């Protein structure tokens, strides 16, 4: 039986303008209605809210509800796998196999690279609404021992998990040396996962960054400042190098990664930039380097992350990136004020909000 529910949607209608609108949501077979409870902000949300995307992209994507990092509580279910009251992590990537079954897909392609997929908060209403109707196969139940403020960090952690999966067979070898570029949140989430879920200890793990105060948070690895490190002459080489910088630092980080990569190394690109980036292809060829592009994640990554969050040391490390205070959101004005503050000062810690839809 189809269930219809009303959703209060905090919709970004144009840069810096949030309007609260009501939309009717249909809960079909295989789909689940969720009330979002906690969410965190991604830099992609910032780019939409501040109008930093190209005008043609904004025209195509807006209006829409922002946010793709979050959790919620099941309100109604069209699936036997979930019941009212279940706490769930929301997987924001909806595979094309669900939305467009008529499109032929390659069986070996992961869901996050499928044709015809949709992504919450990217031209498709995200978590900034009181009722999100989502496919059951894009939800992961949260164990009781994992607090909400840790579970809300699952999305970015899952992106790290998917990236690391490209080299997981290498990481189990105790002589594999790993380097990572990026002292921001993406670099931190990926580093924490390497240390506590993959067992990569400091003697074979180096994190490169540009800000000493940020690098101080990576106390489980060796650290080096890119502004003073001698990339041309330092003898240490690495078997796996992960780039988590993006933006205007992509060019330098990628080429420095190539410089310190050993023969037959793997380099993973995770940073996003709007610009074309020139890279040293000669050394890629001469060293036999394998380059992996990695974007987003799928349900299998979320399930692995949520299971990993049972690890107390991993939870403790994740807790360091939480804000001192969680922001309460009851309406569009609250949401707009929070986004404006984030644009002014994104900070190193994640911005986390709690929704109070009944206020």
| DSSP conformation letters of 221-240 | SEEEETTT--TTT----EEE
- Distance from C-alpha of 92 to C-alpha of 111, rounded to nearest angstrom: 11
| Residue 60 shares a structural domain with residue 135 | yes
Tokens of 330: 């009851």
Quick one: which H or E segment has residue 11?
strand 3-14
Looking at the domain assignment, is residue 246 inside a domain? Answer: yes
For residues 195 and 278, membership in a common domain is answered with: yes
- CATH of residue 272: 3.40.50.720
Give dist(CA 94, CA 3) in Å, integer: 21
Of 273, 293, 313, which residue constitutes the final position of a domain?
293
Same domain, 281 and 341: no
For residues 81 and 198, what is the distance between their CA atoms, to the nearest angstrom?
30
Both 130 and 180 in a single domain?
no
Residues 197 and 115 in one domain: no
Please check whether residues 176 and 99 belong to one and the same domain: no
Reported residue count of the chain is 359
Following DSSP, what letter does each residue of 267-309 receive, concatenated?
EEE----SS-----HHHHHHHT-EEEE-----HHHHHHHHHHT
The pLDDT profile of the chain, 359 residues, written as one tens digit per residue, is: 678 999 999 999 999 999 999 999 999 999 999 999 999 999 889 999 999 888 898 999 999 999 999 999 999 999 999 999 999 999 999 999 988 889 888 888 888 888 999 999 999 999 999 999 999 999 999 999 999 999 999 999 999 999 999 999 999 999 999 999 999 999 999 999 999 999 999 999 999 999 999 999 999 999 999 999 999 999 999 999 999 998 888 999 999 999 999 999 999 999 988 788 999 999 999 999 999 999 889 999 999 999 999 999 999 999 999 999 999 999 999 999 999 999 998 889 999 999 999 86
Considering the domain architecture, whether residues 328 and 286 belong to the same structural domain is answered as no
Q: Please check whether residue 257 lies inside any domain of the structure.
A: yes
The SS3 of residue 150 is helix
- CA–CA distance, 64 with 22 (Å, rounded to integer): 12
Classified as helix, coil or strand, 328 is strand
Domain that residue 56 falls in: 3-142+323-355
Show which of 250, 274, 293 is a domain's final residue. 293
What is the CB neighbour count within 10 angstroms for residue 42?
23
Domain tally for the chain? Answer: 2
Q: Which domain-ending residue is among 271, 293, 315?
A: 293
3-state secondary structure of 108: coil
Residue 298 inside a domain? The answer is: no
Q: What single DSSP character describes residue 244? A: -
The answer on 189 and 85 residing in a single domain is no
Tokens coding 125:
């209403």
Supply 97's token pair.
């196999």
Contacts of 301 (CB under 8 A, 6+ apart): 158, 159, 161, 162, 165
Domain annotation covers residue 252: yes
Q: Using N-to-C axis directions, what is the helix angle for 154-164 and 299-308, rounded to 10°?
A: 110
Are residues 110 and 3 in contact, defined by beta-carbon separation less than 8 angstroms?
Answer: no
The CATH number assigned to the domain holding 134 equals 3.90.180.10
| 3-class DSSP state of 165 | helix
* 275 plus 166 within the same structural domain: yes
- Indicate whether 15 and 108 sit together in one domain: yes
Q: Are residues 83 and 194 in the same domain?
A: no
Residues 115, 197: one domain? no
- Asked, for residue 307, whether it belongs to a domain, the answer is no
Pairing of strands 222-225, 87-90: unpaired
Residues 170-193 have pLDDT tens digits of 999 999 999 999 999 999 999 999
Q: Which two tokens stand for residue 349?
A: 């810690």
Q: Within a 10 A sphere around the Cβ of 345, how many other Cβ atoms? A: 7
Report yes or no on 306 lying in a domain: no
**Residue 305 is assigned to a structural domain of this protein:** no
């Amino acid at each position: 039986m189809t269930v219809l529910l009303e959703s209060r949607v905090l919709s970004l209608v144009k840069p810096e303008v949030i309007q609260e609108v009501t939309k009717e949501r249909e809960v079909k077979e295989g789909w689940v209605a969720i009330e979002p409870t906690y969410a965190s902000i991604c830099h992609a949300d910032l780019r939409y809210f501040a109008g930093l995307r190209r005008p043609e992209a904004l025209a195509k994507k807006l209006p829409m509800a922002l946010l793709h990092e979050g959790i919620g509580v099941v309100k109604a279910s069209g699936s036997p796998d979930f019941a009212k009251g279940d706490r769930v992590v929301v997987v924001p990537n909806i595979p094309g196999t669900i939305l467009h079954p008529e499109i032929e897909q390659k069986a070996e392609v992961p869901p996050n690279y499928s044709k015809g997929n949709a992504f919450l908060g990217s031209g498709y209403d995200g978590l900034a609404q009181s009722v999100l109707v989502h496919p059951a196969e894009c939800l992961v139940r949260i164990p009781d021992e994992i607090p909400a403020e840790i579970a809300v960090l699952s999305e970015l952690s899952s992106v790290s998990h998917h990236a690391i999966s490209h080299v997981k067979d290498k990481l189990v070898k105790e002589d594999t040396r790993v380097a990572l570029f990026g002292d921001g949140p993406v670099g931190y989430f990926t580093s924490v996962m390497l240390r506590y879920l993959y067992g990569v200890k400091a003697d074979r793990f180096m994190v490169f960054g540009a800000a000493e105060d940020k690098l101080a948070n990576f106390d489980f690895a060796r650290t080096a400042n890119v502004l003073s490190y001698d990339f041309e002459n330092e003898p240490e080489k690495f078997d796996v190098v992960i780039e988590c910088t993006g933006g205007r630092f992509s060019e330098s980080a990628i080429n420095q990664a190539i410089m310190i990569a050993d023969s037959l190394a793997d380099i993973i690109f995770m940073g996003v930039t709007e610009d074309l980036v020139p890279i040293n292809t000669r050394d890629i060829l001469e060293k036999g380097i394998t380059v992996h592009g990695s974007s987003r994640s799928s349900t299998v990554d979320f399930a692995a992350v949520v299971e990993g969050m049972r690890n107390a040391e991993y939870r403790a490390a994740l807790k360091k990136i939480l804000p001192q205070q969680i922001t309460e959101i009851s309406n569009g004005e609250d949401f707009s004020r929070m986004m404006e503050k984030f644009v002014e000062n994104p900070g190193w810690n994640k911005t986390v909000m709690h929704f109070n839809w009944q206020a």
